[in-house]
Structure 1
Amino acid sequence: MNHIITLENSIRKKHQDNWEMFLSVQKTLVEQRFDWIKLFIDYKGKQLIGKGNLQMGKKDYLVILSYSPFNGNRYDQIFITNIQLNYHRDIHLYGDLSLCLYHPIIDQGPIRKIPLIRMIPWISEWIIFYLQWKKYGVWLGKEIKH
């Protein structure tokens, strides 16, 4: 195993060993800045769960998320549930229809995890680019092709 993978596994293990504190810090940081999303810690599932209506213009977007070091390489799973989304590789969705907000290797890097507070603004950016994609057929946001 190379040193980067060893370090990556060590970071994930620290987050898993201290999952309650780790998720509490993530929850506090998000709540201090964003009042539209309500978060709670699911102690049985060892995850942070969030739900809220993100208002953009005259439309509300229902966002549901899970954030946990037990989710795998991507700690986050973020969904918009009140719009009809169908998988299309050009609109930056994973197969489970969760949002692809960053490149898990290039943007996240091998030795750090992106905190939830940094991801929350990316949800509105994703929506804007999605609406533009529907209109023009081209993803206008920054991207790394999958």
Structure 2
Amino acid sequence: MGIITTLAGNTKQEHQKDWYTFLYIQKHFVEKHFSWLKLVLDKKNKQLIGTGTLQIGGKSYKILLSYSPFQKFRYDRIYIRGDTIKYHDDIHLYYDNSLCLYHPLIDKLPGKNISLCEMIPWISEWIIHHNQWKKYGVWLGKEIKH
């Protein structure tokens, strides 16, 4: 196991150990900066659940997210609900149709987790890039090919 993998594992273990405090802090900062998103701390499943609506280009996008250090591979699962977005290799979705907002190994610093507050603006960027992709057939945003 490499040092980066070890550091990431240690960070995740720390977040899991004190999960309530970790998620409460994430919730506090998101609510402070993004009033359109409503978060609930789900104690039973040890996760934050968020819902909200983004207005972009005259269209509404319903967002559903979950965030937890107990999720496999990455903490976040962010979805656009009620839209016709389907999996396609070129539009940066995971197979479960959650948004691919960053590369989980390349974009993360060793031993540092990407906070939910950092990710929220990336949702708008993703939507804009998706709309451009539908129009031009090319993903115009920054990307790392999968």
Structure 1 residues not aligned, in runs of 5+: none
Report deviation, 1:134: 0.3
Match of 1:40 in 2: 40
Q: Percent identity?
A: 59
> Aligned with 1:66: secondary structure?
strand
Match of 2:135 in 1: 135
Distance 1:44 1:53 in 2: 25
Distance 2:57 2:5 in 1: 43
Distance 2:62 2:109 in 1: 29
- The number of residues matched between the two structures is 146
Match of 2:102 in 1: 102
Alignment of 1:34-73 (within 5 A): 34-73=34-73
Tell me how large the CA RMSD over aligned residues is.
Answer: 1.0
Report deviation, 1:51: 0.3
Report deviation, 1:56: 1.3
Distance 2:137 2:6 in 1: 41
Structure 2 residues not aligned, in runs of 5+: none
User: For residues 43-74 of structure 1, what are the alpha-carbon distances to aligned partners after superposition, in whole Å with 9 as ceiling and x for unaligned?
Assistant: 00000000000111321100000000001221
Q: TM-score, normalised by structure 2?
A: 0.96
Match of 2:145 in 1: 145
- 2:23 aligned with 1:26: no
Alignment of 1:114-133 (within 5 A): 114-133=114-133
Distance 1:5 1:141 in 2: 28
- Of stretches 104-113 and 72-81 in structure 1, the one that deviates more from structure 2 is 104-113
User: For residues 96-122 of structure 1, what are the alpha-carbon distances to aligned partners after superposition, in whole Å with 9 as ceiling and x for unaligned?
Assistant: 000000011110133211000010000
Distance 1:117 1:58 in 2: 24
Distance 2:38 2:128 in 1: 22
Report deviation, 1:3: 3.0
- Of stretches 45-54 and 105-114 in structure 1, the one that deviates more from structure 2 is 105-114
State the AA in 2 paired with 1:122. Answer: W
Match of 1:10 in 2: 10
- Of stretches 109-118 and 9-18 in structure 1, the one that deviates more from structure 2 is 109-118
